[in-house]
Chain A
Amino acid sequence: MSKSATLACREQFRTPAQQRETASVGMWIFLANEVMMFGALFTAYTVYRASHPQAFDIGSADMNIMLGSINTALLLTSSLMLSFAEHSAQAGNRRLIALFLILTMIIGAVFLGLKFTEYYQHFQEHKAPGVWFNDSSPYANSIQMFFVFYFIMTGLHAVHMIIGIGILAGLLFRTIIGTMTAEYHTPILFGGLYWHFVDIVWIFLYAIFYLPGLHL
């Protein structure tokens, strides 16, 4: 048996299809679990936004909508690149897999770069919560609350992005050494699921952090 065939059907499984389906169930359950993790933060955010609506709008007006929108577009594009990688994997074209994985990672890294630029701007504007926060507006406390959630939620998202890039790097390595084939490439699909999920989270973060203050 070739190495790829062994990987495609590990000893606890009866057929490769069973392994793929089982792994797929596991992966989606993991994502459901991630939904609840971000869900708790969304719940807390919603409760506080409902009780301090104006302050959250004011806080949101301090967002850099330019960078935010560019980042949204970047992340969506990175997802497209990764979908191309998945497509190439199904065709078994290792060269293309590697190319698209690298593109995805580069776009992801640019996203993180822009994100940290934004964080740096918030620090300079004394919007980062805690000892760095300084705001003379009458809503200072509530605005700080907005920024607490902004930093926790986008921070958790950024952590997921960093982990995602790490996973893609691992996949790239396994592609280069030749483990990924047309028969066995589920890891790439799962890397994709994770990355796209992180994308979904960002879509909501964009809607709740960047958009509310735009009309001010």
Chain B
Amino acid sequence: MAQAVAEAIQKNYLNEKQGLLSWLLTTDHKRIAILYTFSITGFFFLGGFFALMMRLELLSPTNWLVSSETYNKLFTMHGTIMVWFFLIPSIPNTLGNFLIPMMVGAKDLAFPKLNLASWYVFMLGGGVTVYALVRGGVDTGWTFYTPFSTSYSTTYVVAAAVGIFIAGFSTIMTSLNFIATIHRMRAPGLTWFRLPIFIWSMYANSVILVLNTPVLAITLVMVGVERIAKVGIFDPALGGDPVLFQHLFWFYSHPAVYTMVLPGMAVISEIVPAFSRKPMFGYKAVAFSSVAIAALSFLVWGHHMFVAGESVYVAMAFSFFSFCVAVPSAIKVFNWTATMYQGSVSWDTPMLYAIGFIGLFTIGGMTGLMLAVLGLDVHLHDTYFVIAHFHYIMVGGTVMAFLGGVHYWWPKISGKMYPEGLARISAAIVFIGFNLTFFPQYVLGYLGMPRRYAAYPEEFQMLHVLSTAGATILGVGYVLPLCYLIWAWYYGRGATPNPWRATGLEWKTPSPPPAHNFEVTPVVTAPRPYDYEAMKEELQLV
């Protein structure tokens, strides 16, 4: 028995096969997750570099560092790369890919070859976008608003659109894979209400992506056709309506915003119970809130267009739905905090990130409410207030959750422990740097500083300087984990199968897991998820 266990530990997904080809042709969801991790890390630091350049330029009210043209390209490429090549694939395609089969007790995703194909498609899309960037960049903003993108921009709009179009298919493939897996690949006994919240959120996330990504794809096709063939689809000079582009774009992009944060919520919903040693409080409420977000997120897109020339009445409908979609998010925040109450709360790094996430997400969510208020949005729209709001959700939310998740599952992924002390310090640096970067932007926005300005009136300078200072700290906070995680991959202390004494199925297999995850297909008999009571003996808890 002991020998068999030792053998299983020895033979895992990382060392079972060797060589570059074994990685490039793998259909193992865990290896594909690693491939994705490399890619999105690259894209994250590329996008981060653009952000840093922008922040440096904004140190001074004048164009002291880069020209307006360059600045416009910087924020466009920052947005494009961060949204489509980091945020949307970040948690689903790395942690989701790695964990979903394990959490549902399956050997692999439903369609392993499709999973690998999605990575290649993603890289192809990324390659085309980087090509557009190398050839001279794009200056339309990540939103590609017409008619600027179709008739006025002289940059590589079509190439960038093609890159995003291709990457969209990768997203669809992965999401389709997840939905099929979650529906049909669950281990015997693993009913819907025995699933971890992570699965619920990833499921909701995948549903959104499957239904909205094709709309973006076809919208970009229309932009491309209009640009190449010089026909009027959105061009008012030929009878088109540029506002229709915004409708179609935001029909995709608003739900897409939720697909950036739902995976973050998924991760936090695992970390909080695990480090409080307590079941998720209000499990069903949290589970259904994810589904509610998926459904309601499609009814709110018009709140990006309150001043864009849409009708007053439809704006009121969109504002109403925007308030409705805030309710499930609020439910999640309340339940996370309630889970910690009376728990056994550890202060390990993943938990620090989770606490940071809850705080920042609350602020981001509250300011989101302000933006949903029709009267207020008139002033706040297209200012730094919006920038600050969505960075609180996406950077303060998703990136914090991603880092938290990477630390939480790092022992499972790599079989090694990360250096705890250094990790806690870097979590604190990220939190402080983040707030210093983005909180001043709320004030800037309320004062009236518009988005996408390379130069600005000098009364805004003080706050911009603060923000840039914060950004450098934030940068350090992001580079630090990269360094010590790489170090830990090689030299870290070996990890036990369940270092956190958590309850999920993924912890019932060795670290790192064998190629097919489980020696025998697990059969779930516990009536409820996060059942510490039932696993007391096994986890040696009192």
- Interaction A to B: yes
Residue in B112, B218, B231, B241 whose beta carbon sits within 8 Å of that of A37 in the complex = B218
Q: Are B248 and A43 touching (Cβ within 8 A)?
A: yes
Name the residue on A nearest B112 (C-beta).
A12
- Cβ-defined contact, B214 with A30, below 8 A: no
Instruction: Flag if B211 contacts A32 (CB, 8 Å).
Output: yes
A interface size (C-beta, 8 A): 38
Complex CA distance for A52 and B244, rounded to whole angstroms: 15
B229 close to A36 (CB less than 8 A): no
Chain B residues, CB < 8 A from A131: 230
A18-B184, A26-B110 given as contacts; is B231 within 8 A of A130 (CB)?
Answer: yes
* Cβ-neighbour of B214 out of A22, A26, A36, A51 (below 8 A): A36
Chain A residues within 8 Å of B222, by CB: 41, 44, 152
In the complex, chain A residues whose CB is within 8 Å of the CB of B112: 12
Provide the bound-state CA to CA distance between A168 and B485, in Å: 48
Is A207 located at the chain interface by the 8 A CB criterion? no
Contact A148 B217 (CB under 8 A): no
- Please, which residues of chain A bring their CB within 8 A of the CB of B244? 44, 47-48
Tell me, yes or no, whether A215 is within 8 Å of chain B by CB: no
A33 at the interface (CB under 8 A from B): yes
Within the complex, the shortest CB–CB distance from A122 to chain B, in Å, comes to 14
Instruction: List the A side residues contacting B233 at CB < 8 Å.
Output: 44, 145, 148
A144→B183 contact, CB < 8 A: no
Q: How far is the CB of A52 from chain B (nearest CB, A)?
A: 7
Q: Taking CB as reference atom, which chain B residue is nearest A145? A: B239
Query: Which chain B residue lies CB-closest to A52?
Result: B239
B211–A26 touching, CB < 8 Å: no
In the assembled complex, B319 has its CB within 8 A of some CB on chain A: no
Dominant secondary structure at the A interface? helix
Residues of B within 8 A of A133 (CB): 231
In angstroms, how far is the closest chain A Cβ from the Cβ of B247?
A: 8
Query: A29, B176: Cβ atoms under 8 Å?
Result: yes
Q: Does A154 contact B (CB under 8 A)?
A: no
Q: A26 — which chain B residues lie within 8 A by C-beta?
A: 110-111, 176-177, 179-180
Interface stretch among B101-109, B126-134, B449-457?
Answer: B101-109
**Chain A 127-181 residues near chain B, CB threshold 8 A:** 129-131, 133, 141-142, 144-145, 148, 152, 156
User: Given A32-B211, A44-B244, A145-B238 in contact, is the A37-B217 Cβ separation under 8 Å?
Assistant: yes
Per the bound structure, the CA–CA distance linking A26 and B225 in Å amounts to 30
Complex Cα gap A36–B185 (Å)? 26
Is A216 interfacial (CB-CB < 8 Å)?
Answer: no
Contacts of B231 in A (CB 8 A): 129-130, 133, 144, 148
Partner of B176, one of A13, A18, A33, A40: A33
Contacts of A33 in B (CB 8 A): 172, 176, 210-211, 213-214
CA distance A148 to B239 in the complex (A): 12
B219 adjacent to chain A (CB < 8 Å): yes
What's the least CB distance linking A205 to chain B, in Å? 15
Give, as a whole number of angstroms, the nearest-CB distance from A45 to chain B.
10
Q: Could you tell me if B238 and A12 are in contact, using CB atoms closer than 8 angstroms?
A: no
Whether A22 and B230, one on each chain, are in contact in the complex, defined by CB atoms closer than 8 angstroms, is no
Query: Which one, B214, B215, B225, contacts A152 given CB within 8 A?
Result: B225
Which of chain B's residues have a CB closer than 8 A to the CB of A47?
Answer: 241, 244
Residue in A25, A48, A51 whose beta carbon sits within 8 Å of that of B179 in the complex: A25
Q: What A residues does B111 contact at CB under 8 A? A: 23, 26
B residues less than 8 Å from A36 (CB atoms): 211-212, 214-215
* A25 surroundings in chain B (CB, below 8 A): 110, 179-180, 183-184
A residues 9-47 with Cβ under 8 Å of B? 11-14, 18, 21-23, 25-26, 29-30, 32-34, 36-41, 43-44, 47
* Nearest opposing residue in chain A for B212, CB measure: A36
Q: Which of B505-524 contact A (CB under 8 A)?
A: 516, 521
B221 touches A39 (CB 8 A): no
For residue A34, which residues in chain B have a CB less than 8 angstroms away from its CB? 214
- What 5 pairs between A and B have smallest CB-CB spacing? A37-B214, A22-B184, A12-B108, A26-B180, A130-B229
Q: Which residues of A contact B (CB under 8 A)?
A: 11-14, 18, 21-23, 25-26, 29-30, 32-34, 36-41, 43-44, 47-48, 51-52, 129-131, 133, 141-142, 144-145, 148, 152, 156
In the assembled complex, 28 residue pairs joining A and B whose CB atoms fall closer than 8 Å, in A order, are A11-B107, A11-B108, A12-B185, A18-B184, A18-B185, A22-B110, A22-B185, A23-B180, A25-B183, A26-B176, A29-B176, A29-B179, A30-B172, A33-B211, A34-B214, A36-B215, A37-B214, A38-B218, A40-B214, A40-B218, A43-B247, A44-B233, A130-B229, A130-B230, A131-B230, A141-B232, A144-B232, A152-B221
Residues of B in contact with A (beta carbons under 8 Å apart): 101, 106-112, 172, 176-177, 179-181, 183-185, 210-215, 217-219, 221-222, 225, 229-233, 238-241, 244, 247-248, 251, 516, 521
A37-B214, A144-B238, A152-B225 are known contacts; what are 6 more A-B pairs with Cβ within 8 Å?
A18-B184, A21-B184, A25-B184, A29-B180, A33-B210, A148-B233
